[in-house]
Every structure is written in C-alpha cells, then in structure tokens.
Structure 1
Amino acid sequence: MARTSTKDPVVGPDAPMPPGYAFVRKGNVFITSRCRKAAYAEGRAVFVVAAGGRARGLRVPRGVLAAVLAAHGATRAARARAVAARDRRVEAGFRAALLALYPRAPAADVPRVVARATRKRSRRVGRCAALAAEPRARLAARAHLRHARTDYDALLRAGVPRADARARIAARVDALEREWGLRGEQQQPPPPPGRAAAAGPGRRRRRRHAAASAQAKTRTRQAAQAKTGALAEKKRQRRRASAAESAEKESRALVPELRAGGSDRPDDLDGLDDDDDDDDDYGTDATWTPSDDELDDVDWPLE
C-alpha cells in the first residue's frame, strides 16, 4: 500500500547513509517529487537531509533514483516544450490585458513592457498571482513609463528620495497613461501585495511612525545585544577563574613529584596557566554587536 504521509524523518548530513540509499540534492522538483512518490508507492522511507535549519536534499532508494533519472532524461525535451508553451500563454495573456487597458500603447513599447514584467524568476508584477491581470498590466505600464519616459532615474541618481522622486513625476506618468488611451477614469493602481498604500494626507505621518518604530526596534535590539554580551563575559570570566584554579591545583600536585625526580625548576609545568579559554563554547557570536548601519538595514521598513 502506498504511503501518503509527507512527514519524512529528518537527518543530518553526517548521519550514516542507510544501505541501498543515495542522496538527491535539492533543486530539481521533477526529480525530488517523483523520487518521493515512487518511494512511497514501494512503501520505502524517504529521509530529508537538513543542516543549519535548511533542507539540503533527500536520501532515497537507489533503484527509485535510477528510474527517476531515466525518466528525467527521456522526458526532458517534452517538458521543455511544455514549459515554453506555458510561458507563451502567460505572455500572451499579459499582452492582451495590457492592450485592453491601453489601446493606444506604442507598438515599440508593448514588447518591452511584456518582456520585462513576465520574466521568469524575476519576482516582477507580471508573474504575481495575487493580482488580477488588469492591475498587473497597469503597474507594469506605469513602471515602464516612469523609467523610460521621465527623469525618475536621474532624480534617484541625484539623491532624491524614492517617494519624493515618484511624487515629482506622478503627473507626467498620468499624462502619458492618457496618451496611451487609458481605459475609463480609473483610480491609482493598487499597491503590490504586502505594501501599504502611500498616497493620501496621512502619508508623512505614516512615514514618521515607521521611522520611530524602526528606531525603537534598533534600541531594543542594541539593549538585548548588550545584555547578551554582558552575560557571556561573566560566563567567560567564571570559566577562566575555574581553569586557573584547576591549573594551580594541578601544579601544586605535580611540583613535589617533579622535584623528587631531581628537577629544581618545574619546567614541565610551563603552559599549565596559559589561558586557552578564548576558544570556549561561546565563540564570538554570543558577544557580537551589529553596527548602527547593520541594524538600519535589518529594521528599516521597506518601501
């Protein structure tokens, strides 16, 4: 009976390899998913190899892996054709939505907007499944107009803040949209998923609140780092004191034996008092304190 549970046992990379198993590196969904299904169908276990809290791959039966690799090679061309056809459908759908929204869009600009917005693995709006086709098309068109038809990039290079640069060229972008025949009297396009709308009279107030919140997080993190550093330093001091005390006791115990053997100076004791605790279990991460710049990079709200 085929297994249906996906809660596979997790092992470390140094764990012994089960007899008859082989490692499959994470990254090829065709191989990993089919190895799982085939192993479950045979009632065999699949082990997830993880290190540092991240999955690195799978350990699967060798026979299963060999069959999946053979299928992978035999179907490579067909799968490539299927992916290309799917990409063409995505691009065609996006192009249709763009032209429906902007019927007078210049023929030279449409391919550029479509190609950039639908590029695979770019995380651009053309492939954002959380938005309908029309909002995606408008966001992509406005981005193209902003960069290709205004001095937006020049403002950014001159040091103008991003929000201010957008505000300066907003009217020009609106006018260009009308030239492209923007359908109907539509409002500003919705912000991408995960971003709050920035327009409106409360915009500056929200930005000040976000800045204050970021500063508060910075202070909290700095205080926590300082406390952690102080605790780690106390532990190191106790370890050094304990090591020194143990070394001294051992020295006192060894000195009579060495002197009984005819040594006037216990040269064999050299190094017993060396402080080797710098390489203790705490390492350096426990007392690491990031700089203000690094904290800003972590805590500052993304626009």
Structure 2
Amino acid sequence: MNLVVFEPLKGISCAECRKGPLPHLVRVSGVPRCLDCSALGHLVYLPRGDAALTRRARTGSSVSAVVVRFNKRRRRYERQGLLVEREALARAEQACRADAAVRARGRDRARRRRAAEDTRFTAAFAAEILRLFPGCPPDRATAIAAHASLRGSGRVGRTAAGRALDPAAVAVAVRAAVRHLDTEYDALLAARVPRFEARARLAARIDAVLDTWRTPPPEKETPSAA
C-alpha cells in the first residue's frame, strides 16, 4: 500500500512538535504530523511530470510516499508528486540522463502514431455524423468531429461510447455543436440563465436543425445531352 502525504491548502502545524505551517503532512487518526515526526523527514520531493524519472525513483527507493492535494473545483484529491529517498532520486536522474536520446525518439514515434490515429478517428467520426445526418454540411461534420474527438479534451468523442462511434454519442456531439453555434445558448449562460433552463428554451430550435440534417440533400440533376 502506498503511503499518502498531504499538501495542505491552508497553514497547518504539526500536532506533535508544533512546527508549521507545513508544506507536507501526514494524518494519523485525523491528526496532522510533520514528516520528521512521521519518520519521513529524510525523503525529498519529486514533482509529477516526468514519468520515467518518477518510475525509476520510486523503484529505487525503499520508502516512498504519494503527495496529494485537494482540488476544490473537482472535489477530489489529485496527485502532485512523490517523496523518495535522496539517493534513489540521484540514481534515477543519472539513468534518465543516460538514455534521454533513446526516450526522446520513442516519444516522437508515439506522438506521430497518436497523430495518425487521431486523424483516422476524426475522419471516421465525421463519416458517422454524415451517415446519421446526411443533410449536415460536410465541412460542419468535419468541424464537429474535430472538436468532439480532440485528445485529452474529455468531450463525448473521447468517451468509450464515442470511441466506439455509438450513434447516441455521435448525436450528442452534433446536438452540442448546434446548441453552441446555431443558437444564443452561450449568451444565455453569460446572462446567468440556468443551464437546464437555457437548454429547455432552445430545444425546439435545435431539434428543427437536426431534423433538417436527418434528411438527405436533394440529388443534383445531371444535364441531359442535347
């Protein structure tokens, strides 16, 4: 089990030695204690951000602790870094310097692979939009797909259903695009209209656009030979 150390949001002192405010603390039965009083004072802090360095430092350290901080907006604890032994961190840094070029080439290959995957997925998402909404202008379908499937965005295109091109998920992405681009929805939110009220007020107009897009465009007549 990983040891957990907290990064407090406000000034807190150690209940045992009274030292404070503490940058990091351990809670024992809800009581805050500093790292020294918790036999962790010999550890050094390694911020998150370098996966290879973190992995190697944790592996080489006989004692380590995960540092977390509470995110008020998301209402959850989020990882900030790691506490490890100083010698383990030094060895990890040396190992990372030794193979930095190899890892850089690997990251570059991974970036190119992800970019190719994203291009293919966005095209597939746009094609599914046009299958469900054949009247949607192709350029709009492409723009909606690119927005919904942006990697790391957390939007519907990156959910499991979106990745599977589930028709319901694709329809959600199209509806959201119409809501934001074809109505005054954003202006209503800026005017402090509650979200649920703004959506209800605009639902009929959005449905009308989607119903139009569900109808295939008329086929162009081929000129007859004279």
The TM-score with structure 1 as length reference comes to 0.46
Q: One-letter code of the match for 2:46? A: V
Alignment of 1:166 with 2:190, yes or no, is: no
Q: 1:66 to 1:136 in 2, by over 3 A?
A: farther
- 2:146 maps to 115
Give the aligned partner of residue 124 of structure 1: 155
**Partner amino acid, structure 2, of 1:48:** A
- Structure 2 unmatched runs, 5+: 7-23, 25-34, 70-76, 217-226
Q: Is the 8 A contact 2:185 2:199 kept in 1?
A: yes
1:56 aligns with one of 80, 84, 91: 80
CA deviation string 1:50-75 (max 9, x = no partner): 26576432326232343245253343
* Structure 1: 5+ residue stretches without partners: 1-6, 184-303
* Offset of residue 159 of structure 1: 4.9
CA contact 2:48–2:54 (8 Å) conserved in 1:
yes
Residues 146 and 152, structure 1, Cα contact 8 Å, conserved in 2: yes
Structure 1 residue corresponding to 2:62, chosen from 45, 50, 55:
45
Q: Comparing both structures, which one devotes a greater share of its residues to helix? A: 1
Question: Could you tell me how far apart the structure 1 residues matched to 2:68 and 2:197 are?
Answer: 44
- Shift in CA distance, 33/137, structure 1 to aligned 2, threshold 3 Å: farther
Cα drift, residue 140 of structure 1: 1.0
Structure 1 segment 1-303 matched on structure 2, within 5 A: 7-10=1-4, 15-17=40-42, 23-33=45-55, 36=58, 39=59, 45=62, 47-50=64-67, 55-58=79-82, 59=84, 61=88, 62-69=90-97, 70=100, 71-129=102-160, 132-133=164-165, 134-181=167-214
Q: CA RMSD in A?
A: 3.3
| Change in CA separation of 1:153 and 1:76 when aligned onto 2, cut-off 3 Å | closer
Distance 2:115 2:175 in 1: 27
Q: Where does residue 277 of structure 1 map in the other structure?
A: none
TM-score by length of 2: 0.59
**Structure 2 vs 1, CA of residues 32 and 99 (structure 1 numbering), >3 Å: closer, same or farther?**
farther
C-alpha distance 97-51 of structure 1, shift in aligned 2 (>3 A): closer
Counterpart of 2:204, as a letter, is A
Higher-strand-fraction structure: 2
Separation in structure 1 between the aligned mates of residue 158 and residue 115 of structure 2, nearest angstrom:
15
Report the structure number with the largest CA radius of gyration.
1
Q: C-alpha displacement at 1:154, in angstroms?
A: 3.9
Q: How far 1:105 sits from its partner (Å)?
A: 1.4
Cα distance in 1, alignment partners of residues 184 and 127 from structure 2: 28
